[in-house]
Structure 1
Amino acid sequence: MIIQSVELLSLKVPLHTPFKTAVREVSHIHDLVVRVHCSNGCVGYGSAPSTEKITGDSHASIKMALETVLIPLVIGESLQDFQPLIEKLHKVTNAGSNAKAAMDIALFDAYAQYTQQPLYELIESLSGGIQTTRKTDTTIETDYTISVNPVKQMCSDIDVAVARGYRCLKIKIGNQACEDLERLRVIYAHAQSLQSDKVNLRMRLDVNQGWDTQTTIDIMQKLEHEGVAFELIEQPLVANDIEGLARIKRAIKTPIMADESAFNLAQVVQLHQLDAIDIINIKLMKAGGLYPAMQIADYCRAHKLRCMMGCMLEGSIGVAAAAHLALAYADVITLIDLDGPTLGQYDPIMGASRFKDANIFLNTTPGLGISPWQVLCVFGCR
């Protein structure tokens, strides 16, 4: 089970509509894909997008870190020594979290194939064997992201999402704080007009660091007083303003979720100890892959802290890995925001986990279930 070679490939898929938040606008899913070849024939896949404004990692920096640091680190190593290898990977200090995540996912995929387990079963066994899933129930339901746009467009996008079967929406806001209160009133009223016996619509609010402390308190107290109810508010403040998050938590009823404030376990511990948040958003690209994300989930499990499993704007390789993690930790990861692949016009990775509107159908085959020849067809002409 020796790692013999590693390839780097490119995956680019156009979006249905541009993805807009308070900090960026993107028109394509664009992943750098890692393909690990092992001596027994197993081929493991991992991937990472460019998230320069969030993690600081561009495609160029991810590629350089993989080629100069991480690929030389794993070549010639045996996946039979998986635990020491994955620990060695995450001790590296001269590679960013995206590059580590891509390699980490590929190694997990290859090892799960070697042990003949779906990835979620491998993760369960490594997390202490706490069985929270059933092999017959491997479907996960995700929310859908409504990008920042003029209110009329956002309401139209809500209509489309509801028609596609989504029943939980994440509303992006925060690029015009002075107008956001009224915009949220209109958006919420429109969503309420769609409620029926067949449609029970829930909404989450994602500010992407776009407000300050007092703005957040003022807006949320007014909305709560008016009965405008969001399931949660995500990252209203800049990432390092932990005291501000704690102040908001004391002032409002809506649960607060940390995203950019919670990259790693140390930050999660600080947020929890300072009573600054209610929920942690775990993302593989922030954490650096499955192994450190599991450490965060283990801490949250031990301290009864709820989690969301989120993603950046990624394709189905990385998001499928995140979904497997969410299934393995279903007792603590109770919120799912893994709509990245469905934002694309198509999914070129066939034969593995399937993304169909709100539903993610996880593979029960070993690893991520990706057939090498299918991916070769995707990338062969690039």
Structure 2
Amino acid sequence: MKIKSVEFKRVFYRYKEPFTISLGTHETQENVEVCITLEDGTRGYGEASALFVISGETPQMLEKMEKTVQEMIAGMSVERYELIFEQTQKLKATPAIKAAVECAVIDAFCKRHGLRQYEFFGGAKNKIETDITIGITTLERTVEKAKKYYSEGFRILKIKVGKNLKEDVEKILKVNEIGKDLSFIVDANQGYSPKEAVELAQILYREKINVVVFEQPVKKDDILGLKYVRWNSPYPVAADESVFTMYDALRLIKEEAIDMINIKLMKSGISDALAIVKLAKAAGIQLMIGCMGESSLGISASIHFAAGTGAFAYHDLDSHLSLVEETFRGDFKQQGPLITLEET
């Protein structure tokens, strides 16, 4: 069935409270929804969510791509989605739009053929467990939020760090006192120098903190620095901002600079994400899946991708929990950290 039209819609969200990482503070999130309509009226949806400090994209840039995408894929058949993906590979400057378009195409394909998206991706699982993120804030607020999340059943906490090493250590040690069964993903968002990153990792290791992932400790283009941290850290080192495409992943694997890759559909789209999954499996590299600022609509695509492929050791799919949404539009059910996709 051929694509009849492509429509973009800019949507505004507010964070429940300011969200700070080493790269800046965000109080609002503007996303672009993509709707693909087929000739029989079937509609597929995707969502583009980006941060300028990470991908160089703005909502204005994304919104202006509507005509380009329309001309690129209108008239193409969703059954031949690989040919559509060859076209979306051209959207290198706007990876979030690439992702949204590819998600909308697969959504339309699945609806037309009576498939759930996780079944399309392989149907490996219908349940996953997500972590939850605590942004950079005061020690008191960090502990307060950690206690709340712990009471809700979350046992993997993602702690944002990278602005002050001493304060970062203090927060993690204090949060660790909440429960012996806690695990941590420590995410610097490029905030440390290589030596600072190693120092943090070694301090936490001496304190017997269960860090399961040390994420993007150094600048995204500092491959030698990333490699230095990887070989001097007692914890697994993951690349996030360093990996957008399959070619980025291949380079880091060949350089032996990482233990893990954080795939985000908003960086890679479905096409590159599938390729990275295969590369990682062949190289023995672990995977986690993350998000940008997607609402329940956008995060749903990542949940289905993660469950369907069954490829991920860790899931960081919690952005929708930080946004004020008038209507929940995800195709999943969630109770605390547990996310379930009902079987057909």
TM-score, scaled to structure 1: 0.85
Matched residue of 1:232: which SS? strand
Residue equivalent to 1:329: 309
Residue equivalent to 2:318: 339
Q: Is the 8 A contact 1:70 1:100 kept in 2?
A: no
What stretches of structure 2 of length at least 5 have no aligned partner?
A: none
Q: Is the 8 A contact 1:234 1:256 kept in 2?
A: yes
Deviates more, 1:341-350 or 1:305-314: 341-350
Q: Distance in 2 between matches of 1:252 and 1:77?
A: 48
Q: Is the 8 A contact 2:50 2:292 kept in 1?
A: no
Deviation at 1:268, TM superposition (A): 0.8
Matched residue of 1:7: which SS? strand
Residue equivalent to 1:320: 300
Deviation at 1:150, TM superposition (A): 1.5
Q: Where in structure 2 are the equivalents of 1:1-382 lying within 5 Å?
A: 1-65=1-65, 67-90=66-89, 92-93=90-91, 95-124=93-122, 132-133=124-125, 138-176=126-164, 180-181=165-166, 183-195=167-179, 200-287=181-268, 289-330=269-310, 332-346=311-325, 348-350=327-329, 352-364=331-343
Q: Is the 8 A contact 1:36 1:45 kept in 2?
A: yes
Q: Distance in 2 between matches of 1:150 and 1:351?
A: 32
Q: Is the 8 A contact 2:10 2:63 kept in 1?
A: no
Q: Distance in 2 between matches of 1:95 and 1:205?
A: 29
Post-superposition CA distance 1:23-50 (Å, at most 9, x none):
1212234321011111122110001123
Q: Distance in 2 between matches of 1:240 and 1:265?
A: 16
Deviation at 1:139, TM superposition (A): 2.2
> Which amino acid letter does the alignment assign opposite residue 38 of structure 1?
L
Q: Distance in 2 between matches of 1:97 and 1:10?
A: 16
> Which amino acid letter does the alignment assign opposite residue 195 of structure 1?
G
Q: Is the 8 A contact 2:9 2:63 kept in 1?
A: no
Identity between Structure 1 and Structure 2 (%): 27
> Which amino acid letter does the alignment assign opposite residue 80 of structure 2?
D
Distance change (3 Å), C-alpha of 1:356 and 1:35: farther
Deviation at 1:347, TM superposition (A): 5.9
Post-superposition CA distance 1:47-74 (Å, at most 9, x none):
1123111111111111112x23212111
> Which amino acid letter does the alignment assign opposite residue 317 of structure 2?
L
Distance change (3 Å), C-alpha of 1:351 and 1:329: closer
Matched residue of 1:237: which SS? coil
Q: Distance in 2 between matches of 1:343 and 1:320?
A: 15
Deviates more, 1:316-325 or 1:277-286: 316-325
Deviates more, 1:294-303 or 1:72-81: 72-81
Q: Distance in 2 between matches of 1:194 and 1:16?
A: 24
Post-superposition CA distance 1:173-211 (Å, at most 9, x none):
1122xxx23x24432333332226xxx221110001000
Q: Distance in 1 between matches of 2:241 and 2:208?
A: 28
Matched residue of 1:53: which SS? helix
Deviation at 1:357, TM superposition (A): 3.3
> Which amino acid letter does the alignment assign opposite residue 124 of structure 2?
T
What stretches of structure 1 of length at least 5 have no aligned partner?
A: 125-130, 366-382
Deviation at 1:362, TM superposition (A): 2.6
> Which amino acid letter does the alignment assign opposite residue 49 of structure 1?
S
Q: Is the 8 A contact 2:297 2:330 kept in 1?
A: no
Deviation at 1:88, TM superposition (A): 2.2
Q: Distance in 1 between matches of 2:96 and 2:187?
A: 22
Matched residue of 1:348: which SS? coil
Distance change (3 Å), C-alpha of 1:33 and 1:93: closer
Distance change (3 Å), C-alpha of 1:193 and 1:219: closer
Q: Distance in 2 between matches of 1:59 and 1:25?
A: 17
